[in-house]
Structure 1
Amino acid sequence: MKDEILVDGSMGEGGGQILRAALALSMSLGRPFRMKNIRAGRPSPGLKRQHLACVRAAGELCGAEVAGDEMASRELRFAPGPLRAGEYHFAVGGGGSATLLLQAVLPPLLTADTPSRITVTGGTHVPCAPPFEFMAGTLLPWLERMGPRLAATMSRPGYMQIGGGSVTVNVTPAKALVFGTDFAEAAKNEPGPTLETEALVYAHHLPDEIAKRECAALLSPEFAALGLSDSSICVINGRNGGPRPEGAGNAVLVKLRHRHGITVFGETGLRGRSAETVAGHAACRALRFRNSNAPVEKHLADQLVVPLALAGGGSFVTETLTPHCRACLDVASLFTSLKPELHPVNGRKTLVTLR
């Protein structure tokens, strides 16, 4: 067996991203690891239900030997076996994020021997996690630039507490991930002017007034630069078609289409947060990204680090570097011989290189 890698879960932001990156790299490279101080940077440290779901899904994919996979555990041992591509169904439980679980299990399947179909039930639009549209419309097309073919569908949305959403990703793997010309050019060159802007407003089992106020906020003079109109905003409430979730929920998403593809910005409604605040946060993030002229959105950046590490290195230009991205870079350097290099670009962006 290869030497066990020690991962300190307190490094950097000390959150769950460190665990997800370690699981993905461990399965992909066949490297066992031991993690201590799991989620030490959080108010309630240790493994929660969301993180246990990631560990157990990863263990099922590769027949791993696992120790410490229990609630509130602050230490975990994970020794992967051979990866087994195929059809899997994973349940996060409650409103735990389906897209965060996919962050842990998707990277090794990108270069598996055979195709896979992964269905995850849980939250599709929950706080502190990428919404489904970001994964399907922004992340997966970037990953396809490295070789695999990917398709994602959402049969039902799911929100905080109750969850019940369902997401399926079909993976046609590549022989190897490649940091090629297509990825390199898109990852370093400015995205150029916005070609089209759209917005989605999810408002299930909620008063119509909430969606109306969010639409009005998106169309306000403050966000006129986005170029939204009545015809470019779609309200999804279950009464105008589409599946209805098990519980009430609200989310606002703004989609910018540019020459590199689509970048999605989402904000989730919460009790005590006004409709104007929810819509305003999504719109502000979209405007900041557009004004930055960075090709890689800051939350996309952390999700590209593990695939780039598996490709043997690469680089991209992003907005302000997030703690999640720094954590992924630190974990990648533990599992590979690659080291991160960070260089400012025009004082507002960062060139991230793994080599």
Structure 2
Amino acid sequence: MDGFKPQKLVKLDGRVGEGGGQLVRIAVSLAALTGTPLRIDHVRGNRGDGKRGGGLKAQHASCVRYLADATAAEVTGCYVGSKSIEFKPTTTLANLVNRNIRIKAESAASILLVFQSMLPFLLFCGDDSGSPITATIQGGTNVRFSLSFEYFDQVLAPALERFGVKIDRKLDSRGWSLGATNVGSATFRFVPLTPGQTLKAPVWPVERGEITEIDITILVPADTIEAFKKALVFRIDQVLPGVGTNYHLVEDSRHRTRIYTLLVAHTSTGLRFGCDWLYDRKATGKTPDDIATEVAEKVVAKLDAEVQKGGLVDEYLQDQLVVFQALAEGSSSIPGNSEALSSEGNQVDRTDEPFGDGSQHTTTARWVTSQLLPHTKWIDKGRICKGAGWKAL
């Protein structure tokens, strides 16, 4: 799609589907990209008044401010806690001046969620000379309810390469939301599409294949590392016997409450399935062996459940790829379970509410992209996406 710019204000309700921060991130990024005026009411309205609360969080406000600056957008409601936001871009993205971006998110807000919000927009900000864009973001790399740097590095970034998007990434320093708040930094560098180019539909395997090996990432206090190694390997051998393991990263987290583990299963067809846990339970009265066993049982069970679903992607990766499928040129199919994988339906999906197979995050992401990229077509409960073929201007 070349130069499509809807003039009608798009209104979204943050109480629809998994209407959390993901809705804000996708919607504002696509509004900036397409020049679409946008209003979101009841921001994160399904979060209630509990600890996760409602309204914009720090990472959402950070990405909205950047996208507003990049498009000279008229914005109202861009502050932490805001329950509604209006975003009206007034310039195109054809001539992005600043290609060395620096963002400091508030506190330990998630670096990866900020970058995810910016990426669909920045991918189409190329120039004729192929100048790279570098984004250095300060905030948290391991944050509750958020993508970790390790998952991005080991699962999401390799998946994006199937779309032709290669991102160099570097962890400058780690930032945690647990323990004493610690602000970290990460740097991302990539070459955006040149004018006239489109994202290519991903070449995705049609079969999952066999699990060939599992990469293990352990970020825990130094004196618990050996307990975690023993517990994870033991549990993997119990649940997935015969599968080899590899310690991809083992690191001292330097705090008793900072406990993070990621398992990445590799398949014979080149797919990756990731499952992780940033430990969020009380550790009082528990030995290192107790906690290691608890973590091992949970992450291995989660990984096994993803494998048993028989799809081609884990549920976290599936929802993060939706926006790229919607923007790409051509058809793509990345089903999350065996039922969708074997389906032969061809009915065009209704897009007036979240739809299709997958988690609520996935169905909501499809709905949001459909509102802002109406030339995208989803077929057979989201199994097939015929992308808009958006072109860099």
TM (norm. structure 1) is 0.85
Partners in 2 of 1:290 and 1:230 — Cα distance?
A: 16
1:118-157 alignment, distance < 5 Å: 118-157=135-174
Partners in 1 of 2:80 and 2:175 — Cα distance?
A: 23
Partners in 1 of 2:242 and 2:112 — Cα distance?
A: 29
Q: 1:213 aligns with which of 208, 223, 227?
A: 227
Indicate how the Cα distance of structure 1 residues 214 and 352 shifts in structure 2: closer, same or farther if over 3 A, else same. Answer: farther
1:206-256, CA deviations, whole angstroms, 9 ceiling, x for partnerless residues? 3613x3332232122465316577864642117xxxxx7x99622101122
Partners in 1 of 2:297 and 2:248 — Cα distance?
A: 14
Who is 1:318 aligned against? 336
Indicate how the Cα distance of structure 1 residues 230 and 76 shifts in structure 2: closer, same or farther if over 3 A, else same. Answer: closer
**1:163 Cα shift?**
3.5
* Residue 351 (str. 1) matches residue 383 (str. 2): yes
**1:160 Cα shift?**
1.1
Indicate how the Cα distance of structure 1 residues 233 and 77 shifts in structure 2: closer, same or farther if over 3 A, else same. Answer: closer
Q: 1:178 aligns with which of 193, 199, 215?
A: 199
* Residue 169 (str. 1) matches residue 178 (str. 2): no
Corresponding letter in the other structure for 1:351: R
Corresponding letter in the other structure for 1:214: F
Partners in 2 of 1:61 and 1:213 — Cα distance?
A: 48
Indicate how the Cα distance of structure 1 residues 171 and 329 shifts in structure 2: closer, same or farther if over 3 A, else same. Answer: same
Partners in 2 of 1:42 and 1:154 — Cα distance?
A: 31
> What SS does structure 2 have at the residue aligned with 1:334?
helix
Identity of aligned residues (%): 26
Q: Retained in 2: the 8 A contact 1:138–1:261?
A: no
Partners in 1 of 2:294 and 2:63 — Cα distance?
A: 31
Partners in 2 of 1:94 and 1:336 — Cα distance?
A: 33
Give structure 1 stretches of 5+ with no counterpart: 239-243, 344-349
Who is 1:42 aligned against? 47
Corresponding letter in the other structure for 1:37: H
**1:257 Cα shift?**
2.0
> What SS does structure 2 have at the residue aligned with 1:277?
helix
> What SS does structure 1 have at the residue aligned with 2:145?
coil
Q: Retained in 1: the 8 A contact 2:272–2:313?
A: no
Indicate how the Cα distance of structure 1 residues 248 and 166 shifts in structure 2: closer, same or farther if over 3 A, else same. Answer: farther
- What's the Cα RMSD here? 2.6
Q: 1:97 aligns with which of 99, 110, 114?
A: 110
**1:261 Cα shift?**
4.2
Partners in 2 of 1:91 and 1:247 — Cα distance?
A: 26
1:1-355 alignment, distance < 5 Å: 2-43=7-48, 44-80=53-89, 81-83=91-93, 84=96, 86-113=99-126, 114-161=131-178, 162-175=181-194, 176-180=197-201, 183-186=202-205, 189-203=206-220, 206=221, 208-209=223-224, 211-221=225-235, 223-224=237-238, 225=240, 232=247, 234-237=249-252, 249-258=258-267, 259-272=269-282, 274-312=291-329, 314-319=332-337, 321-337=358-374, 338-343=376-381, 351-354=383-386
> What SS does structure 2 have at the residue aligned with 1:134?
helix
Partners in 2 of 1:15 and 1:159 — Cα distance?
A: 21
Partners in 2 of 1:305 and 1:232 — Cα distance?
A: 30
Q: Retained in 2: the 8 A contact 1:184–1:316?
A: no
**1:99 Cα shift?**
0.9
Q: Retained in 1: the 8 A contact 2:215–2:245?
A: no
> What SS does structure 1 have at the residue aligned with 2:103?
strand
Partners in 2 of 1:265 and 1:26 — Cα distance?
A: 31
Indicate how the Cα distance of structure 1 residues 158 and 227 shifts in structure 2: closer, same or farther if over 3 A, else same. Answer: farther
Structure with larger Rg: 2
Give structure 2 stretches of 5+ with no counterpart: 284-290, 338-356, 388-393
Corresponding letter in the other structure for 1:47: L
Partners in 1 of 2:231 and 2:256 — Cα distance?
A: 25
Question: Which protein is richer in strand relative to its size?
Answer: 1
1:40-94, CA deviations, whole angstroms, 9 ceiling, x for partnerless residues? 1002221122321221122233332211112321110112233326111112222
TM (norm. structure 2) is 0.77
1:90-131, CA deviations, whole angstroms, 9 ceiling, x for partnerless residues? 122223211111111011112222421111111112221121
Indicate how the Cα distance of structure 1 residues 37 and 308 shifts in structure 2: closer, same or farther if over 3 A, else same. Answer: same
Q: Retained in 2: the 8 A contact 1:158–1:247?
A: no
Partners in 1 of 2:145 and 2:243 — Cα distance?
A: 25
Aligned length: 336
Corresponding letter in the other structure for 1:323: Q
